[in-house]
Structure 1
């Protein structure tokens, strides 16, 4: 171990230092991370005497963090102190929590179901469900499009993962998962993990039991009658020893794969950015009209839609759904010459990294054309994570977003309501805190954009938007 280098960070405050800072961070992580970067640089700690909480931003340190998965392990939901044999423990025991050989085995068994060739089989389903949801829209009405996109992504997820299409079943599971995510992400759930009546911790455990039961019943049915869906492929997958995933493992991985929140978040931000950048919106609509002529995209057409690809990449740069993440030191180690003690928590943030001028020129400018030139590596641009725990569903998510956006833009102009307050906030995924209300209009090549307020105006430069 090299001689330790003095860690950057704020002055030491005995006893109450980290708890006070933790409350601030939990309330709104992104401003906290931004302040740590501005004051202390790309690596820092809240306690230089005992660096138990470390913050790293930028490709230099993230390359070391993700490139050493034996020293810096993933352990999703570690901060949520759940009973070891509870439904919540089973739901969260998938890829996001596993490391080493167990992680490699699960990923190998799951990879074929998420390969680009397997994902392409669901193209028609995504088109069909998207058009069905858009048929509910009426010109002139104002809709919460973040809710609409969440429902759409949920229906696509239910159909492709479980081959469940009945809207009643979809809405029921959506309600269960919504309650689980809402209660699990409440600050009091982390700060007061008491299984007592009326507590958010108790509500989380109860909701997890209901989700576990619903997913398990689907898996049992699929064993008897497999279909052309992802869960049937996971049930059938076998390793080199002829062994597959157990029922509990299938439940955990199904729940992990089912997260529809990220795609809905990315599409919501994309619609907002297109509203605020009418020239980009008009150019994209022209590209879609020239290649698709009002029809939904066919498999293989996306290579002829380069602006569609760049628009989604740029939205994921400025508003990555997974805007923060955690790793834990499995042993005493070092990172960039700084000594990291065993059990230290390391925070990273794609949201902050994507705004570093050293990584992206004019980082606050929404500029899809920046993607016509050289791109940063996976440690400078990481909307889907990096290293061994990079998102397995990346290909599916990108296909899904491209199909949905291409259909939406050809059918409607979703104009953001003038005067909307848009505050970016982490609620599982990064979302507009107040939602996104849009007026449904016929497609038009106008140059209008809504006047918006909120922290969106510091998250992205809208003053020079065209």
Structure 2
């Protein structure tokens, strides 16, 4: 990592200025159509840090580790606000659901984080392994070789039901499906350009849909919180209700609504499981080696916590998937005041984009970066600014241990039962819907373990993101 000198005054690399009204909005819409490709073009043209306008750097792109290190070193200056671009009415469910760790900074963030981590620290989440294994076995019991299944939807149902049981303490598949349906709808409309550009509560608008759906989600979460206050369980929500910060203060119901919603949304796990099965299908030698490790170590059983520590190749496969297709390829920070980022002076309120997707492809960090190669992790030891699928700094993901436990448990069981292969005629395009997902879903045919089905051609722009066999 090269050193970056500090001292304001230099201009950021940027395209030629085009003095058009609404120029940044037009660029923003182009970016939202395919953020990953847009960011890669920005990096290839302007390097590890750049802006849209060198004379007025309100929109800045930070890709190289040396600048990411500076960005994460000052969380009081470079602040989060995951929903700042969406204008939400005061005293609305839409606003209350968003007021969790993804939006908090400073003392409020530190206080909430100490409380929430009681339910998600590594020692506690191990107890959820049995639930993860049980629900995975239930799902796989309904699968048959020869079936074509929407793997993305199956993984979605499994992850949702696991979250309902472990995060919210509810063992009701119908309720899990209902709540996940509401959350999926909210995420879809909240990220819609129509919601961002026309935030008005009028009939037929996506903004009104977001408001109404948020109300139904909040109603469900408040009912669950009331139940847990009278009958605590071993779930994450019960742990958050019981926890106190260093001053002995508990989270209010309103704060619990926000943190329960944030903790329940596990789109990133669905994304990683789906992309892992796709990449393993396209790299059969990797899949054969992984299934051999699983068979030799587990013999058909679900992995224990000790087993997971011994499944080195499974760990390498998951790391490599998270490098190539990270579930959060685009993240944001804002400047709380005028600030320096290395030799560049940024105004207050500047919007900074950073992208694990781009950083994980920097050729100076990763040899042949588009190649899916789990073996690279035998010797590779990147810093947190070079490999950041779970973020970095004060706001790094508290759910990392839960996510890895779930992803590895599901894969270990599924790949000992079936060999999924991409269905013929499938188009695989990348899309950004909160998490990084296949735009048209992921239909896969179930084959016996050890089968070597003839690979079908892959259509779609995913071929720009990874070298496919």
* Shared fold per TM-score greater than 0.5: yes
1:252 — aligned with what?
258
Aligned partners of 1:43 and 1:55 also within 8 Å: yes
Q: Distance in 2 between matches of 1:378 and 1:259?
A: 24
Q: Which residue in the other structure is 2:315 paired with?
A: 309
Whether 1:337 aligns to 2:324 is: no
Partner of 1:7: 12
Among 43, 58, 61, the residue aligned to 2:64? 58
Cα deviation per residue 1:285-325 (whole Å; 9 max; x = unaligned)?
00000011111112211121100000000000000001100
Q: Is the 8 A contact 1:423 1:456 kept in 2?
A: yes
Normalising by structure 1, we get a TM-score of 0.98
Rate the CA distance shift 1:3–1:160 in 2: closer, same or farther, 3 A.
closer
5 Å-filtered alignment, 1:72-151, equals: 72-151=78-157
Q: CA deviation at 1:141?
A: 1.4
- Name the residue aligned to 1:234: 240
Q: Which residue of 2 aligns with 1:273?
A: 279
Deviation at 1:246, TM superposition (A): 0.6
Give the conservation status (yes or no) of the 8 Å contact 1:307–1:368.
Answer: yes
Alignment counterpart, residue 427 of structure 1, candidates 428, 433, 442: 433
Measured after TM superposition, the shift of residue 18 of structure 1 is: 1.0
**Structure 1 441/249 Cα, relative in aligned 2: closer, same or farther at 3 Å?**
same
SS at match of 2:167: helix
Q: Deviations over 1:190-247 (max 9, x none)?
A: 0111110100000001110100110110000100000111100000001232211111
CA distance in 2, matches of 1:97, 1:146: 28
What is the DSSP-based 3-state SS (H/G/I as helix, E as strand, rest coil) of the residue aligned with 2:416?
Answer: helix
1:18·1:47 contact (CA, 8 Å) conserved in 2?
no
Q: Deviations over 1:411-458 (max 9, x none)?
A: 111111133211111111000111111011221253743321111111
Bigger Cα displacement from structure 2, 440-449 vs 95-104: 440-449
The alpha-carbon deviation at position 147 of structure 1 amounts to: 0.5
Query: What residue ranges of structure 2 are gaps of 5+ in the alignment?
Result: 1-5
- Which residue in the other structure is 1:394 paired with? 400
User: What is the alpha-carbon distance in structure 2 between the residues aligned to residue 17 and residue 198 of structure 1?
Assistant: 28
1:346 counterpart SS class: strand
Alignment of 1:161-172 (within 5 A): 161-172=167-178
Residue in structure 2 matched with residue 364 of structure 1 by the alignment: 370
Q: How many residues align?
A: 463
Residue aligned with 1:421, SS: coil
CA RMSD of aligned residues (A): 1.1
- Conserved in 2, the CA contact under 8 Å of 1:332 and 1:339? yes
**Cross-structure match for 2:3:** none
With 43-52 and 269-278 compared, the bigger mean Cα shift is at 43-52
